[in-house]
A and B are shown apart, each in its own frame.
Chain A
Amino acid sequence: MKVSNIVKDNFREDKLPHIWCPGCGHGILMHAIARAISNKGLDRDKVVIVSGIGCSSRAPGYMNFNTLHTTHGRALAFATGIKMSQPDLHVIVITGDGDAAAIGGNHLIHACRRNIDITTIVFNNNIYGMTGGQYSPTTPTNDYGTTAPYGNIDKTFDLCNLAQAAGATYVARSTAYHARIIERYIENGLDNKGFSFIEGISVCPTYYGRKNKKGGAVDMMKGLKENTVDIRIANKKPELAEGKLLIGEFHNSEEEEYTARYDKIIELFEKE
């Protein structure tokens, strides 16, 4: 079997196959990150990929870079230490909806606020998969999880709104269905000198799908196409967006990056 250059260049082939269930969307998102890194021609020795805990966070182990699989929710805090201490490294964080928005929510808003140059990709599958299907901050209201046997009473967290409000300078959302589009968003995130937040909607047929009668993997993947609408279309024809999830590039601004601001403090003393 011929192995693509994307796999050869970016993956630890001896660590594959991955642990994700058949039909999981995470592999598509992981591959999109690899393509974005290849497209950008980043120096692989200088790329650090950091994750927390959960299904999403197993991704770095398969990827042939400097990889750090940290504690639950803390990927951004470790990543901030790495970027702050060695700003020439390209720091990428792979995290999940529970990891980023529940246990790691505080780190997320502060990483956004600082505008530190880290590209964060959230693999959002709307559920805690690794622990067996408990509801997460992005589980839709009224949907079911093993800890929401009578329906989820929580309000769903819009992570892109959160990231933008907290100060991220690049914010975008796409899905595992839109593999080429999210690849481009990740490239844009890598280009942005500042904090980039890319939400990748994934699918979990094993837990979320089964609990909520969403059909099989193919049905769920089709659902990503059918139940989303690009923000540019939604802006022109709001009626098309009714009841659908907005995808697209929500925010892109230029602001001074955090480690660059600190460099200026160091420079004060170099002049003396």
Chain B
Amino acid sequence: MEKNIRLLQGNEACVEGALAAGMNFFAGYPITPSTEIAELSAQKLPVIGGRFIQMEDEIAGIAATLGGALTGKKAMTATSGPGFSLKQENLGYGYMAEIPCVVVNVQRGGPSTGLPTSPAQGDIMQAKWGTHGDHPVIALYPNSVQEIYEVTVDAFNLAEKYRTPVILLLDEVIAHMREKVDLTPIKDKEIINRKKPNGSKENFLAYENTEDLVPPMADFGSGYKYHVTGLVHDEFGFPSNNSKIADVQIRRLVDKVEKNKDDIVKFEEYKLDDAEVVLIAFGSTSRTAKESVDNLREEGIKAGLFRPITIWPFADKQIKEISEKVNNIVVTEMNLGQYVNEVKRVSSDKCKVDFYGKVDGHLITPTELNEFVKEAVK
């Protein structure tokens, strides 16, 4: 296949990835530093017969995205910190009603309006617990422009496969950085489309407790006249107060992600084989951490990097294994300690877990991380 090499910004690569995955509907609201995703979607979607709409607010942005997904479209919305907060209620609706879509959150400094043009990684826990109640979460976090292109395809595929909204986390640095990207077309077989019903249109079980935990989904307008609600519902989709139905339904929702971790959890390991201290980092911070690993090795410290690409569900198996093998783990994030608490939860008692974080709107540099790791391993 012919290569298509381009120089692109991270946000642009996100749109290219979305289109490669089959995105044909985008609804959103402008917010820095995610706006280019909406702008490029507005430019490109009508060209392929898709549709773009700029809604009146962030809440409407995700609501319209979910509406588009219900008619069978591959739909996406994009936002940043304050907008991600506003979207949480309808994100929960998407989990509950099992509506596949992709929600991009280009993280910026918070809380509140915070630092709109500076990078941060303060939404790691919000991505997991931002909406109320127990729910499944898939959140992915690439660390380069090339990987944004590829992981955006993964985000759509996982949304379709598991019939759920998928969060794509970026940060201001990787979203606005320009790098070389290979946009070689994604092969058809690598694109996943939601499972559709083929049985009777009467008595369709829109929320059937299927063995694979993911019921087939019918498009609105296709003749399966079913009911969708955010209330606890039975297998037909109708509201229920039955405690057994509630228990079965909510457990299935969570299990469809938790029991498929082996399929969903992706990560990169760098120089882990003989590592005595392992750095854990994601997004733009992982680029710093990789540089640190090389620097530290030059100074005789056997360092390695574990980089989760899937932030949620948590890579507990992999991180537990690492903690059983090494003396030190250093987690570094552009926040005051979020992912690190999950690392501590699964780590062996014998392994020391340290944290280096920053919230001043600047990237963590290799120099400061090198110094921190050297102190930590002393």
B37 within 8 A of A: no
Nearest Cβ on chain B to A148's Cβ, whole angstroms: 26
Alpha-carbon distance between A48 and B220 when the two chains are bound, in angstroms: 7
A24 within 8 A of B: no
Alpha-carbon distance between A76 and B90 when the two chains are bound, in angstroms: 13
Mask of B190-228 contacts with A, CB within 8 angstroms, 1/0: 000000000000000000000000000000111111111
Mask of B56-72 contacts with A, CB within 8 angstroms, 1/0: 11011001111110111
Residue of A48, A85, A88, A269 contacting most chain B CB atoms (<10 Å): A85
Alpha-carbon distance between A268 and B71 when the two chains are bound, in angstroms: 24
The answer to whether A85 and B46 touch across the interface, beta carbons within 8 angstroms, is no
Mask of A43-78 contacts with B, CB within 8 angstroms, 1/0: 011101010000000001100111111110010011
B229 within 8 A of A: yes
Given known contacts A46-B221, A71-B93, A82-B71, A262 and B46 CB-to-CB distance under 8 angstroms: yes
The answer to whether A71 and B89 touch across the interface, beta carbons within 8 angstroms, is yes
Name the CB-closest residue of B to A74.
B63
A265 within 8 A of B: yes
Stretch of B47-55, B295-303, B305-313, B368-376 on the interface side = B47-55
Alpha-carbon distance between A46 and B224 when the two chains are bound, in angstroms: 10
Set of chain B residues within 8 Å of A88, measured between Cβ atoms: 221
In chain A, positions 88-120 with a C-beta closer than 8 Å to chain B are: 88-89, 106-107, 109-110
The answer to whether A70 and B93 touch across the interface, beta carbons within 8 angstroms, is yes
Given known contacts A15-B238, A80-B64, A107-B60, A86 and B53 CB-to-CB distance under 8 angstroms: no
Alpha-carbon distance between A262 and B46 when the two chains are bound, in angstroms: 8
Given known contacts A70-B230, A74-B90, A268-B46, A89 and B64 CB-to-CB distance under 8 angstroms: no
Alpha-carbon distance between A44 and B27 when the two chains are bound, in angstroms: 27
The answer to whether B55 and A82 touch across the interface, beta carbons within 8 angstroms, is no
Q: What DSSP secondary structure best describes chain A's contact surface? A: helix
The answer to whether A269 and B225 touch across the interface, beta carbons within 8 angstroms, is no
Alpha-carbon distance between A71 and B59 when the two chains are bound, in angstroms: 10
Contact of A69 among B46, B49, B90, B231 (CB under 8 A): B231
The answer to whether A269 and B228 touch across the interface, beta carbons within 8 angstroms, is no
Set of chain B residues within 8 Å of A70, measured between Cβ atoms: 63, 93, 230
The answer to whether A66 and B225 touch across the interface, beta carbons within 8 angstroms, is yes
The answer to whether A66 and B221 touch across the interface, beta carbons within 8 angstroms, is yes
The answer to whether B63 and A45 touch across the interface, beta carbons within 8 angstroms, is no
The answer to whether A84 and B27 touch across the interface, beta carbons within 8 angstroms, is yes
The answer to whether B229 and A78 touch across the interface, beta carbons within 8 angstroms, is no
Set of chain B residues within 8 Å of A85, measured between Cβ atoms: 24-25, 51, 67-68, 71, 73, 75
Nearest Cβ on chain A to B58's Cβ, whole angstroms: 10
The answer to whether A78 and B67 touch across the interface, beta carbons within 8 angstroms, is yes
B337 within 8 A of A: no
Set of chain B residues within 8 Å of A74, measured between Cβ atoms: 59-60, 63, 90
Given known contacts A262-B46, A262-B51, A268-B46, A45 and B68 CB-to-CB distance under 8 angstroms: no
Mask of A242-272 contacts with B, CB within 8 angstroms, 1/0: 0000000000000000000010011011100
Set of chain B residues within 8 Å of A46, measured between Cβ atoms: 221
Alpha-carbon distance between A89 and B223 when the two chains are bound, in angstroms: 12
Set of chain A residues within 8 Å of B223, measured between Cβ atoms: 45
Name the CB-closest residue of B to A86.
B71
Given known contacts A64-B225, A69-B227, A78 and B238 CB-to-CB distance under 8 angstroms: no
Alpha-carbon distance between A257 and B195 when the two chains are bound, in angstroms: 33
Name the CB-closest residue of A to B73.
A85
A79 within 8 A of B: yes
Set of chain B residues within 8 Å of A109, measured between Cβ atoms: 56
In chain B, positions 225-278 with a C-beta closer than 8 Å to chain A are: 225-231, 238-239
The answer to whether B93 and A106 touch across the interface, beta carbons within 8 angstroms, is no
Mask of A213-230 contacts with B, CB within 8 angstroms, 1/0: 000000000000000000
Alpha-carbon distance between A202 and B239 when the two chains are bound, in angstroms: 24
Alpha-carbon distance between A226 and B274 when the two chains are bound, in angstroms: 87
Contact of A77 among B59, B220, B229, B231 (CB under 8 A): B59
Residue of A71, A77, A84, A269 contacting most chain B CB atoms (<10 Å): A77
The answer to whether B238 and A77 touch across the interface, beta carbons within 8 angstroms, is no
Nearest Cβ on chain A to B71's Cβ, whole angstroms: 4
A81 within 8 A of B: yes
The answer to whether A81 and B238 touch across the interface, beta carbons within 8 angstroms, is no
Alpha-carbon distance between A268 and B27 when the two chains are bound, in angstroms: 21
Alpha-carbon distance between A68 and B93 when the two chains are bound, in angstroms: 11
Alpha-carbon distance between A59 and B227 when the two chains are bound, in angstroms: 11
Given known contacts A48-B220, A84-B64, A85-B67, A69 and B56 CB-to-CB distance under 8 angstroms: no
Alpha-carbon distance between A78 and B59 when the two chains are bound, in angstroms: 10
Residues on B close to A: CB < 8 A?
A: 24-25, 27, 46-47, 49, 51, 53, 55-57, 59-60, 63-68, 70-73, 75, 89-90, 93, 220-231, 238-239
Which 7 residue pairs are nearest across A and B when measured between Cβ atoms?
A81-B67, A81-B64, A77-B63, A85-B68, A77-B60, A86-B71, A110-B56
Residues on A close to B: CB < 8 A?
A: 15, 44-46, 48, 50, 60-61, 64-71, 74, 77-82, 84-86, 88-89, 106-107, 109-110, 262, 265-266, 268-270
Q: List 10 A-B contacts (CB under 8 A).
A: A61-B227, A61-B229, A69-B229, A69-B239, A71-B90, A78-B64, A81-B67, A84-B64, A106-B60, A270-B49
